[in-house]
Protein backbone atom coordinates (compact mmCIF):
# COMPACT_ATOMS: atom_id res chain seq x y z
CA UNK A 1 0.00 0.00 0.00
CA UNK A 2 0.87 3.65 -0.15
CA UNK A 3 3.39 4.84 2.44
CA UNK A 4 2.99 8.32 3.91
CA UNK A 5 5.83 9.99 5.76
CA UNK A 6 5.50 13.23 7.63
CA UNK A 7 8.22 15.44 9.02
CA UNK A 8 9.08 16.67 11.50
CA UNK A 9 7.32 14.38 13.98
CA UNK A 10 7.39 17.04 16.68
CA UNK A 11 7.70 20.80 16.49
CA UNK A 12 7.76 23.57 19.07
CA UNK A 13 7.26 27.11 17.83
CA UNK A 14 7.32 30.44 19.52
CA UNK A 15 4.08 32.30 18.92
CA UNK A 16 4.41 34.35 15.74
CA UNK A 17 6.99 32.06 14.14
CA UNK A 18 6.64 30.44 10.73
CA UNK A 19 7.21 26.82 9.82
CA UNK A 20 6.81 24.24 7.07
CA UNK A 21 5.53 20.70 7.48
CA UNK A 22 6.25 18.08 4.87
CA UNK A 23 4.38 15.02 3.62
CA UNK A 24 6.00 12.52 1.29
CA UNK A 25 4.06 9.68 -0.30
CA UNK A 26 5.26 6.62 -2.09
CA UNK A 27 2.86 6.33 -5.03
CA UNK A 28 0.66 8.45 -7.22
CA UNK A 29 -2.52 9.57 -5.52
CA UNK A 30 -5.73 11.19 -6.66
CA UNK A 31 -6.34 13.15 -3.51
CA UNK A 32 -4.45 14.61 -0.62
CA UNK A 33 -5.84 16.21 2.48
CA UNK A 34 -4.33 18.05 5.41
CA UNK A 35 -6.09 17.75 8.76
CA UNK A 36 -5.65 19.40 12.10
CA UNK A 37 -6.52 17.39 15.17
CA UNK A 38 -7.29 19.60 18.11
CA UNK A 39 -6.52 18.72 21.73
CA UNK A 40 -10.06 17.30 22.06
CA UNK A 41 -9.39 14.81 19.28
CA UNK A 42 -11.56 16.30 16.59
CA UNK A 43 -10.30 16.07 13.03
CA UNK A 44 -10.72 19.29 11.13
CA UNK A 45 -10.15 19.25 7.40
CA UNK A 46 -7.82 22.07 6.36
CA UNK A 47 -7.21 21.48 2.67
CA UNK A 48 -8.21 19.18 -0.15
CA UNK A 49 -5.19 19.58 -2.34
CA UNK A 50 -4.21 16.86 -4.83
CA UNK A 51 -2.10 19.43 -6.66
CA UNK A 52 -1.34 23.12 -6.73
CA UNK A 53 -1.44 25.68 -3.95
CA UNK A 54 -4.21 26.83 -1.66
CA UNK A 55 -4.37 29.34 1.17
CA UNK A 56 -6.62 29.61 4.18
CA UNK A 57 -5.78 32.39 6.59
CA UNK A 58 -2.36 31.81 8.09
CA UNK A 59 -2.15 28.36 6.53
CA UNK A 60 -1.27 27.46 2.98
CA UNK A 61 -0.47 24.21 1.26
CA UNK A 62 1.30 23.15 -1.88
CA UNK A 63 1.24 19.71 -3.45
CA UNK A 64 3.64 18.65 -6.17
CA UNK A 65 2.02 15.42 -7.23
CA UNK A 66 4.67 14.53 -9.81
CA UNK A 67 7.31 14.59 -7.08
CA UNK A 68 5.03 12.99 -4.49
CA UNK A 69 5.14 15.52 -1.73
CA UNK A 70 3.05 18.20 -0.11
CA UNK A 71 3.99 21.08 2.13
CA UNK A 72 1.91 22.85 4.74
CA UNK A 73 3.04 26.36 5.62
CA UNK A 74 2.16 27.88 8.93
CA UNK A 75 2.76 31.61 9.19
CA UNK A 76 2.58 33.79 12.29
CA UNK A 77 1.63 30.77 14.37
CA UNK A 78 -0.90 31.18 17.18
CA UNK A 79 -1.35 29.00 20.26
CA UNK A 80 -4.71 27.94 18.84
CA UNK A 81 -3.02 25.85 16.15
CA UNK A 82 -1.32 23.63 18.69
CA UNK A 83 -2.27 20.03 18.02
CA UNK A 84 -1.42 17.38 15.45
CA UNK A 85 -1.32 17.97 11.70
CA UNK A 86 -2.04 14.93 9.57
CA UNK A 87 -1.49 14.38 5.91
CA UNK A 88 -3.81 11.81 4.31
CA UNK A 89 -3.54 10.58 0.76
CA UNK A 90 -6.20 8.93 -1.32
CA UNK A 91 -5.66 6.35 -3.98
CA UNK A 92 -7.50 3.52 -5.62
CA UNK A 93 -7.19 0.06 -4.16
CA UNK A 94 -7.03 -3.10 -6.25
CA UNK A 95 -10.81 -3.30 -6.24
CA UNK A 96 -11.16 0.17 -7.74
CA UNK A 97 -12.34 1.82 -4.54
CA UNK A 98 -10.95 4.86 -2.81
CA UNK A 99 -8.66 4.23 0.15
CA UNK A 100 -7.20 6.89 2.41
CA UNK A 101 -3.90 6.42 4.19
CA UNK A 102 -2.82 8.72 6.98
CA UNK A 103 0.65 9.74 7.96
CA UNK A 104 1.71 9.57 11.57
CA UNK A 105 1.33 13.32 11.99
CA UNK A 106 3.35 16.31 13.13
CA UNK A 107 2.69 17.27 16.72
CA UNK A 108 2.89 21.03 17.01
CA UNK A 109 3.12 23.04 20.18
CA UNK A 110 2.99 26.81 19.95
CA UNK A 111 4.22 28.54 23.07
CA UNK A 112 3.40 32.13 24.01
Partner 1 sequence: EPEVTQTPSHQVTQMGQEVILRCVPISNHLYFYWYRQILGQKVEFLVSFYNNEISEKSEIFDDQFSVERPDGSNFTLKIRSTKLEDSAMYFCASSDLMDPQETQYFGPGTRLLVL
Residue 5 sits in the site that holds partner 1 (CB under 8 A): no
Q: What is the DSSP letter of 27?
A: S
Residues 36-95 that bind partner 1 (CB under 8 A): 41-43, 45, 48, 50, 86, 88, 90, 93, 95
Nearer to partner 1, 16 or 52 (CB): 52
Per rule CB under 8 A, is residue 3 in the interface with partner 1? no
Spatial contact of 32 and 26, defined as CB atoms under 8 Å apart: no
Name the nearest CA neighbour of 30 among 94, 98, 95, 86. 98
Q: Is 49 helix (H, G, I), strand (E, B) or coil?
A: coil
Binding site for partner 1 (CB under 8 A): 30-31, 33, 35, 41-43, 45, 48, 50, 86, 88, 90, 93, 95, 97-105
Amino acid sequence: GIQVEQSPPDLILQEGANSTLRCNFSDSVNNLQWFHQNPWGQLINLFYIPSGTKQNGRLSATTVATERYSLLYISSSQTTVSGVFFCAVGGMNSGGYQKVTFGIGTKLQVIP
